Amino acid sequence: MRVREQTVSMTKPTGDPNGSMTWQDPTVPNGPFTIGGRLHSVRYALRGLALMLKSQHNAWLHAFASFCILVMGLVCGLSAGDWCWVILAIMAVWTAEALNTALEFLADAASPEFHPLIKKAKDVAAGGVLISAMGSVLIGLLVIGPHLLSLLGRLL
């Protein structure tokens, strides 16, 4: 089976009044650093996070789990060091989910029809999210577990 070849430039598009798209040379600087440009970058990033939450069911599970862990951390009175571990674990899962979502969007754009290599790439990316989530659960058990056991011991 022959796979169709595509070449895609990963640079910023510019449009002309006729609606056609041209691509900027990636070796040419984007222009000066501006606060407005950075604010646009933050706006694009927030738009991406919103898109991930709208389109990915697992992102809602991550949001719920993150909320629960943060509440448990507050209830348990975690130390600054413990908070660092918890925040790092939450960040790792969200980062893995965002990269997985981006890969899925790119894969669907590159090959809208089923392709076994695209399926493999998506499965590997999903496996990365699973590894991150499992590691975060272990961190949560190690950091919050003793606090919860102590809290339960005082209540009983």
21 neighbors 13 (Cβ within 8 angstroms): yes
133 neighbors 91 (Cβ within 8 angstroms): no
Within the chain, residue ranges assigned H as helices are: 35-55, 57-76, 80-110, 116-155
At position 118, the amino acid (one-letter code) is I
Q: Catalytic residue among 5, 97, 104, 113, which? A: 97
**Alpha-carbon span 22 to 19, nearest angstrom:** 10
Question: What would the two tokens of residue 103 be?
Answer: 């890969």
Is 5 marked active-site? no
Would you please indicate which residues are annotated as catalytic (active-site) residues?
A: 97
